């Protein structure tokens, strides 16, 4: 427990925390907190509260707010506390305000002054606390108030301050890019800071800057590569290592930046190949962080100008991911989606792994896999993929994701639809199940598509498309509770094409439309669509010379709508009535049949009115004055501009007003206008000044882009003294050579690796039979990448296609299936069992280590054939990942609050060393670097008891070490 | 960028919340409810990632405490998983075999440590040693402040005798 042992708060507060801990329900918790709020409200306004006491009240407010209650009555006291001289109180004040206030809160203006003062403090801890607050609280309006000071702090002696100043500038950049644009050269300078932490922090703003503008940072490629190289060579201080990886977080940031810089730039990319290859080699795939770096490497390789050798390495890494646990599978699928853009064939090797992921009970993984499928859709597999997507879409309730997947279905269907019939069917399904979630534009697109056909000059196909649409809609229309958007489409199509092929009579379709209008009488849009459709149908009938007999229900609908509250509906109803009264020729002109795609010519100049205008003017009417001239006379437009200008300039200013300057001539009209504005006259000139002042630095910064990093200096800072800059340059050049060599023999090497792959497949031929269903799915998803042509419509073509693909598949594919299929370690009930294992006695019934052994055994069983060597070393890592999960069992009911031996969950945090000892006897073996947790827990328990705040709910989990 | 950090217990109790993007109070409550619903319902052996409102939540369970961080769609999930671990290790170093109870009663200290690790939604320091040194520096200051306060109160006590 150490020096932080005594919790340091009053008994009262500890009791509060304790009672919250024991609350059985949310409502009980709320009741307690409301009581606490009342207490605090009363206490906090008492006169002469000692500062220590006040500090505790503030912390209690934080607690209240953390639990989701409103503590706004105390905000002002937190603000006051930031003014305090003592760092102890100031720190608490800052903590509280950063947690309480969003950047748009009114109280922030009261803190800005304090922050300004604290940024000037001699004590770097005060400066740090102020910078923390700056990052959270300073908004666009207040940036100018602190910006100069923050910039000044970039040169502070303490690296912690420099680092935080950079992060603050980064935050400013996110809020208002213009405010710090002139500081880009400063970021370039801090990139060479001697402290790695500062350099690492600088990568955050640089990443954002590069994202926005790649070109102007191309000159930094060399520096980033050199930094990355040094990091990978472990030249940074030991304290930046994380699980034996050299500064992995910095590596990841650098890889992200390089990916941006190398994208589409062959020359820049070529410089990166060597270091990327090195990182691929050096990343430890047995630990999570190693895989994180590896994943970022794959992302980088897939972004930059492609290099075959690196792509192969990336593909290998992906296949390892896909064979590992769920997290890595997820990353593997994601990486596959990135790589597939460059080498589309790569997915094929992993088809069964992908299908396993698709059928995984884990929703997250499933969704990621759908994303991958979306990326690899082509016309040969669109049906399978979209159907799967729709099935999944129907099964979920999450509206956010439903919307996304629906729009993807639509996009794919529009892009790759093999037949009109299928397209309409698919769209119907999407609309039926997610109609209200898709963008209205999708509906408009669908209507347009049905109207225009598929763009081929085949009228027959188009009319076929329409009649199949009409048919399907007449079938669906009777279903209850269709989404509004879908009904609009249905009404429109029925109105436009319902009677076009002569299959259905007008009275049949009008009857259906009336039913719709009646069933959805609350939806005015649908009613409007319905009545317009009615009008069209009647118009076509009249134009065709047939006698129109209006059904009684239609008649009553028209009457009802002509008395509607909505003027739109009324107008439509009256128009319909008027149209019915016209003769055939007039109707034909007003409502031509199938003319929805024809362009309507609009004469914007209204030239047909010229004659009338002429006449009127001759009779003495006023000539028309265009709007621009009218407003010009009254000067209102310049008024407007001014207003607008003011709005954009509105904001607090923290520096003194400028001296009034002679008004800029062009602005002179403003001064003469009878101004109702409160703005003083010099305002415009002031704003101008600001503009110019921001403009000047940007020029200077563009000049400073030529400022090159002196890499020798950088190397000296981190390298050991015996590393001279010369040696690195030679090593670079030699490795460059090897790259070239590889590039020459590249085609040979890939072909041999292919051959190896197939031979290894052959070795494992005698294997488990895969289900034919899965095989078929795989074939239909991945088979025939060459078959990208559009397929002709045929009712049975799906079956035909998949079977043909199955036969086409190379013989090697089958064994792959077998090995893949057995890979997922699936104890069937476990995966679905979401509840905790029910453990009632104090002793752990489930021995975590047994479980793990099982896991280990399975793991070995599965992949011994090809990855024995890898897996033999792998299990310990898997164990350490899952240990914490395995021992989750102790819920209520346990009497003894002292953790039993079984609770001790330590294991190989320290880099893969497993505790093999059975969980009995001395659990915390002294050989481990971690302190014995049992002893610690006992100490903590004793301490808590002393203070009389032992949680009576006896939740032993509270005492459990978070880290084993 | 990290949008927020949540610590929730197995029972759904909130242990710590830190928001780097602007969420109004009402929204925060809703977010916490949604996330704890999603995360706590997930079984073991599934991914440590959940897609949520177009963002991603990366979570990791330690004993009975869930550490959740919400990140952008394009961020590296494995990295964030390690940022969580990095935080837990730092807590562990500070508290010495940290357990949930430490965080319950010393949540403000957990905040201070988090502030040294993450700033404006980004990892600002990846060296545990540096973080530890800064926190120690702050604590030392607190100690001296306390001593001063004590000595002053002693003087007052003596004077008033």
CA angle, corner B82, sides to B79 and B83, nearest 5? Answer: 90
Interface probe, candidates A126, A963, A964, chain B, greatest B C-beta count within 10 A: A963
Query: A288 vs B18: CB contact, 8 Å cut-off?
Result: no
B13 touching chain A per CB within 8 A? yes
Q: Which pLDDT band holds residue A747 (cuts at 50, 70, 90)?
A: very low
**ipTM score of complex:** 0.92
pLDDT of residue B68: 95
Q: For residues A268 and A212, what is the distance between their CA atoms, to the nearest angstrom?
A: 18
Q: In what order do the strands lie in the sheet with B49-52?
A: B14-19, B2-9, B65-71, B55-62, B49-52
CA-to-CA distance for A92 and A82, rounded, in angstroms? 8
Contact A163 B96 (CB under 8 A): no
Q: Which residue has the higher pLDDT, A959 or A854?
A: A959
Tell me if B105 and A7 make a contact (CB, 8 A cut-off). Answer: yes
CA distance B76 to B84: 13
Res A953: pLDDT? 53
Q: What is the pLDDT of residues B68-103, one digit of tens each?
A: 999 998 899 999 999 999 999 999 989 888 888 888
Q: Which residue of A has its CA nearest to B59?
A: A327
* Domains of chain B: total: 1
Kindly determine whether residue A197 and residue B127, on different chains, have CB atoms separated by under 8 Å.
yes
CA proximity to A133, closest of A162, A158, A99, A159:
A99
The verdict on a CB contact (< 8 Å) between B44 and A882 is yes
In this model, does residue A105 exceed pLDDT 90? Answer: no
Give the largest CA-CA distance in chain A: 114
Through-space distance between the first and last CA atoms of chain B, rounded to whole angstroms:
59
Query: Residue holding tokens 């590992």?
Result: A324
Count other Cβ atoms within 10 Å, centred on residue A799. Answer: 10
Residues of A in contact with B128 (CB under 8 A): 239
What gap in Å lies between CA B126 and CA A798, rounded to an integer?
54
Tell me, what DSSP letter sits at residue A455? S
Cβ distance B92 to A14 less than 8 Å, yes or no, reads: no
Contacts of B44 in chain A (CB under 8 A): 830, 882, 885-886, 888
| Pair B88, A962: CB distance under 8 Å | yes
Q: In chain A, what residues touch B79 (CB-CB under 8 Å)?
A: 248-249, 252, 289, 292, 296
Q: How far is B133 from chain A (nearest CA, A)?
A: 10
Smallest Cβ–Cβ distance between A249 and the set B14, B115, B123 belongs to B123
Q: Does B18 touch chain A (CB under 8 A)?
A: yes
| Contact: A962, B92; criterion CB under 8 Å | yes
Confidence of residue A250 (pLDDT cuts 50, 70, 90): very high
Q: Which of A106-120, A201-215, A550-564, B45-59 has the lowest mean pLDDT?
A: A550-564
Confidence (pTM)? 0.68
The length of chain A, given as a count of residues = 964
Q: Tell me how far apart the alpha carbons of residues A119 and A395 are, in angstroms, rounded to a whole number.
A: 55
Which of B62, B86, B102 is opposite residue A242, by nearest beta carbon? B86
Partners of residue A250 in chain B, C-beta under 8 Å: 126
Residues 19-38 of B with CB under 8 A from A: 20, 22-25, 28-29, 32
Q: What's the confidence (pLDDT) of residue B57? A: 94
Find tokens 């019939």 and name the residue.
Answer: A421
Number of A to B CB contacts under 8 A, please give it.
254
Chain A residues lying within 8 Å of B10, measured CB to CB:
888, 891, 957
Residue with more model confidence, A303 or A418 = A303
Rounded-to-integer distance, Cα A131 and Cα A201, Å: 14
Q: Does B40 touch chain A (CB under 8 A)?
A: no
| Chain B: closest CA distance from residue A219 (Å) | 25
Separation of first and last alpha carbons in chain A: 16
Question: A95–B51: do the CB atoms touch at under 8 Å?
Answer: no
- pLDDT at A874 > cutoff 70: no
Distance of alpha carbon B28 from alpha carbon A912, whole angstroms: 38
Q: Are A805 and A779 in contact (CB under 8 A)?
A: yes
CATH number (domain holding residue B45) = 3.30.450.60
Question: Residues 78..107 of B with a Cβ closer than 8 Å to A: which?
Answer: 78-79, 81-83, 85-86, 88-89, 91-92, 94-102, 104-107
Q: State residue B55 phi and psi, 5-degree precision.
A: -115, 180
- CB-CB neighbors (< 8 A) of A167 in chain B: 119-120, 122, 124
Residue A396 · residue A435 · CB < 8 Å: no
Q: Could you tell me the pLDDT band of residue A665, with boundaries at 50, 70 and 90? A: low
Q: How far is A542 from chain B (nearest CA, A)?
A: 52
Q: Which two tokens mark B81?
A: 């998983």
Contact A2 B28 (CB under 8 A): no
* pLDDT of B117 higher than 70: yes
CB contact under 8 A, A963 and B98: yes
pLDDT in tens, A186-234: 888 888 888 889 999 999 999 999 998 888 888 999 999 999 999 999 8
Residue of chain A whose alpha carbon sits nearest to that of B83: A249
Q: How far is B25 from chain A (nearest CA, A)?
A: 7
| Interacting residues of A542 by C-beta distance below 8 A, sequence separation 6+ | A548, A579, A580, A582, A584, A587
A931 and B96: CB-CB below 8 Å?
Answer: yes
pLDDT band for A960, please (50, 70, 90 cuts). Answer: confident
Main-chain dihedrals φ then ψ at residue B17, nearest 5 degrees: -135, 140
pLDDT tens-place string over residues A148-196: 999 999 999 988 999 999 999 999 999 888 888 888 888 888 888 888 8
Q: Which of A14-23, A544-553, A629-638, A855-864 has the lowest mean pLDDT?
A: A855-864
- The secondary structure of A577-610 as a DSSP string is HHHHTS-HHHHHHHS-TT-TTSPPP--TT-GGGH
Are B98 and A957 a contacting pair at CB < 8 A? no
Q: Which two tokens stand for residue A685?
A: 């000139």
Long-range contacts of A139-142 (CB under 8 A, 24+ apart): A139/A103, A139/A104, A139/A108, A139/A175, A140/A175, A140/A176, A140/A179, A140/A651, A141/A651, A141/A652, A142/A108, A142/A109, A142/A112, A142/A652, A142/A654
Q: Is pLDDT of A668 > 70? A: no
B5 phi, psi to nearest 5 deg: -120, 135
Query: Could you please report the per-residue DSSP string of A95-151?
Result: HHHHHH--TT-TTHHHHHHHHHHHHT-SSHHHHHHHHHHHHHH--TTTHHHHHHHHH
What's the gap in Å between the CA of A708 and the closest CA on chain B? 25
A317: closest CA of chain B, how far (Å): 15
**DSSP class of residue A379?**
T
B102 with A940: Cβ contact below 8 A: yes
The C-alpha atoms of residue B124 and residue B116 are separated, in whole angstroms, by 7
Cross-strand bridge partners of residue B14:
B8
Interface test with A, best of B7, B64, B67, B86 (most A CBs within 10 A): B64
Q: For residue A7, name the pLDDT band (cuts at 50, 70, 90).
A: low
Task: Give percent helix, percent strand, percent coil of chain B, each to the nearest 5.
Answer: 50, 25, 25
Nearest to A67 among B14, B77, B81 (CB): B14
Q: Which domain holds residue B59?
A: 2-160
Residue A636, CA atoms < 13 Å, CB-side half-sphere: 6
Contacts of A4 in chain B (CB under 8 A): 94-95, 106, 109, 139
Q: Kindly indicate the confidence band of residue B6, based on its pLDDT and cuts at 50, 70 and 90.
A: very high
Closest chain B CA to residue A288: B78
List CB contacts (< 8 A) between A7 and chain B. 105-106
Q: What is the CA radius of gyration of chain B?
A: 19
State residue A590's pLDDT score. 79
Of the candidates A239, A330, A833, the beta carbon closest to that of B128 is on: A239
pLDDT, chain A, mean: 72
Q: Which residues of chain A neighbour B95 with C-beta distances below 8 Å?
A: 1-2, 4
Query: Using one digit for the tens of pLDDT, what is the confidence trace for A799-843?
Result: 333 334 433 444 444 444 444 444 444 343 333 333 444 433 444
């Amino acid at each position: 427990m150490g020096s932080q042992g005594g919790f340091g708060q009053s008994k009262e507060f500890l009791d509060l925390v304790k009672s919250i801990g024991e609350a059985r329900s949310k409502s009980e918790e709320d009741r307690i907190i409301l009581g606490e709020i009342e207490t605090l409200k009363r206490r906090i306004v008492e006169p002469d509260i000692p500062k220590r006491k006040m500090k505790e009240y503030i912390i209690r407010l934080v607690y209240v707010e953390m639990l989701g209650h409103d503590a706004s009555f105390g905000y002002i006291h937190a603000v006051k506390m930031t003014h305090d001289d003592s760092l102890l109180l100031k720190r608490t004040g800052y903590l509280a305000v950063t947690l309480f206030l969003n950047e748009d809160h009114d109280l922030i203006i009261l803190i800005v002054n304090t922050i300004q003062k604290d940024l000037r403090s001699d004590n770097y801890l005060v400066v740090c606390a102020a910078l923390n607050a700056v990052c959270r609280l300073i908004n666009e309006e207040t940036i100018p108030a602190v910006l100069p000071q923050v910039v000044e702090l970039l040169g502070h002696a303490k690296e912690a301050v420099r680092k935080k100043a950079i992060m603050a500038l980064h935050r400013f950049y996110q809020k208002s890019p213009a405010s710090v644009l002139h500081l880009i050269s400063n970021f370039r300078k801090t990139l060479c800071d001697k402290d790695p932490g500062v350099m690492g922090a600088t990568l955050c703003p640089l990443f954002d800057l590069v994202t926005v503008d790649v070109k102007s940072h191309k000159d930094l490629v060399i520096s980033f590569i050199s930094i990355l190289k040094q990091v990978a060579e472990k030249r940074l201080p030991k304290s930046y290592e994380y699980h034996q990886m050299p500064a992995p977080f910095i590596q990841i940031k650098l890889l992200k930046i390089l990916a941006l810089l190398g994208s589409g730039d062959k020359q820049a990319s070529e410089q990166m190949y060597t270091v990327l290859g090195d990182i691929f080699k050096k990343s430890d795939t047995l630990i999570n962080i190693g895989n994180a770096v590896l994943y970022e490497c794959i992302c980088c390789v897939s972004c930059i100008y492609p290099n075959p050798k690196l792509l192969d390495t990336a593909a290998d890494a992906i296949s390892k991911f896909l064979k590992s646990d769920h997290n890595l599978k997820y990353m593997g699928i994601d990486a596959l989606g990135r790589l597939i853009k460059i080498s589309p064939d790569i997915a094929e090797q992993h088809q069964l792994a992908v299908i396993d992921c698709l059928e995984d009970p884990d929703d997250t993984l499933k969704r990621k896999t759908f994303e991958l499928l979306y990326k690899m859709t082509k016309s040969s597999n669109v049906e399978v993929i979209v159907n799967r997507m729709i099935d999944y879409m129907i099964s979920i309730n999450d509206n956010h994701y439903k919307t996304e997947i629906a729009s993807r279905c639509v996009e794919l269907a529009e892009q790759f639809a093999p037949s009109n019939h299928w397209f309409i069917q698919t769209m119907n399904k999407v609309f039926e199940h997610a109609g209200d979630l898709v963008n209205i534009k999708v509906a408009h697109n669908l209507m347009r598509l049905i109207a225009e056909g598929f763009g081929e000059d085949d009228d027959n196909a188009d009319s076929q498309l329409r009649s199949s649409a009409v048919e399907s809609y007449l079938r669906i229309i009777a279903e209850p509770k269709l989404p509004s958007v879908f009904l609009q489409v249905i009404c429109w199509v029925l109105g436009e094409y319902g009677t076009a092929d002569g299959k259905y009579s007008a009275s049949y379709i009008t009857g259906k439309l009336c039913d719709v209008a009646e069933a959805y009488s609350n939806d005015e849009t649908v009613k409007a669509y319905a009545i317009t459709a009615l009008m069209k149908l009647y118009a076509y009938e009249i134009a065709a010379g047939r006698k129109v007999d209006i059904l009684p229900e239609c008649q009553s609908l028209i009457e009802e709508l002509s008395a509607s509250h909505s003027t739109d509906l009324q107008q439509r109803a009256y128009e319909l009535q008027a149209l019915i009264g016209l003769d055939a020729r007039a109707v034909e002109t007003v409502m031509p049949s199938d003319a929805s795609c024809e362009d309507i010519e609009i004469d914007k100049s209204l030239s047909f009115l010229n004659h009338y205008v002429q006449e009127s003017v001759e009779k003495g009417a006023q000539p028309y004055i265009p709007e621009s001239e009218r407003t010009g006379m009254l000067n209102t437009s310049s008024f407007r501009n001014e207003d607008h200008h003011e709005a954009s300039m509105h904001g607090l200013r923290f520096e003194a007003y400028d001296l009034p300057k002679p008004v800029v001539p062009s602005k002179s009209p403003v001064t003469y206008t009878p101004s109702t504005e409160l703005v003083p006259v010099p305002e415009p000139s002031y704003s101008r000044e600001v503009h110019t002042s921001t403009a000047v630095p940007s020029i200077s910064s563009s000049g400073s882009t030529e400022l090159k990093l002196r890499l020798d200096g950088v190397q000296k800072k981190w390298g050991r003294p015996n590393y001279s800059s010369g040696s690195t340059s030679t090593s670079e050049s030699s490795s460059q050579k090897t790259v070239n060599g590889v590039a020459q023999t590249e085609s040979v090497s890939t072909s041999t690796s292919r051959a190896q792959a197939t031979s290894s497949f052959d070795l494992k031929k005698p294997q488990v039979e895969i289900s034919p269903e899965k095989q078929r799915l795989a074939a239909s998803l991945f088979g025939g990448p060459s078959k990208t042509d559009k397929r002709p419509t045929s009712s049975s073509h799906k079956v035909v296609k998949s079977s043909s693909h199955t036969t086409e598949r190379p013989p090697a594919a089958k064994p792959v299936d077998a090995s893949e299929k057995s890979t997922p370690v699936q104890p069937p009930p476990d995966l679905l069992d979401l509840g905790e294992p029910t453990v009632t006695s104090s002793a752990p019934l489930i021995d975590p280590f047994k479980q793990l052994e099982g896991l280990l055994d399975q793991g070995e069983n599965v992949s011994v054939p090809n990855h024995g060597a890898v897996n033999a070393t792998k299990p310990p890592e898997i164990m350490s990942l899952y240990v914490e999960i395995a021992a989750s069992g102790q819920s209520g009911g346990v009497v003894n609050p002292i953790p039993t031996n079984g609770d001790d969950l330590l294991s190989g945090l320290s880099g893969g060393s497993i505790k093999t000892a059975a969980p009995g006897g001395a659990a915390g073996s002294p050989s481990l670097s971690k302190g014995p947790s049992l002893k610690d827990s006992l100490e903590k328990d004793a301490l808590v008891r002393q203070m009389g705040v032992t949680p009576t709910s006896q939740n032993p989990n509270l005492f459990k070490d978070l880290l084993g | 960028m990290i949008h927020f950090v949540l610590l929730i217990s197995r029972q759904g109790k909130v242990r710590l919340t830190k928001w780097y993007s602007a969420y109004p109070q009402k929204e925060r409550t809703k977010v916490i409810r949604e996330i704890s619903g999603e995360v706590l319902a997930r079984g073991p052996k599934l991914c440590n990632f959940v897609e949520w409102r177009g963002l991603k939540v990366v979570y990791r369970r330690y004993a009975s405490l869930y550490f959740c961080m919400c990140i952008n769609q394009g961020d590296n999930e494995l990295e964030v998983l390690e940022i969580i671990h990095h935080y837990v290790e730092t807590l562990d170093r500070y508290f010495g075999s940290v357990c949930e109870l430490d965080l319950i009663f010393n949540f403000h200290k957990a905040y201070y440590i988090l502030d040294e690790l993450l700033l404006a939604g980004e990892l600002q320091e990846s060296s545990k040693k540096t973080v530890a040194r800064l926190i120690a520096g702050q604590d030392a200051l607190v100690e001296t402040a306390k001593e001063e306060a004590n000595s002053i109160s002693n003087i007052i006590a003596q004077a008033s005798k």
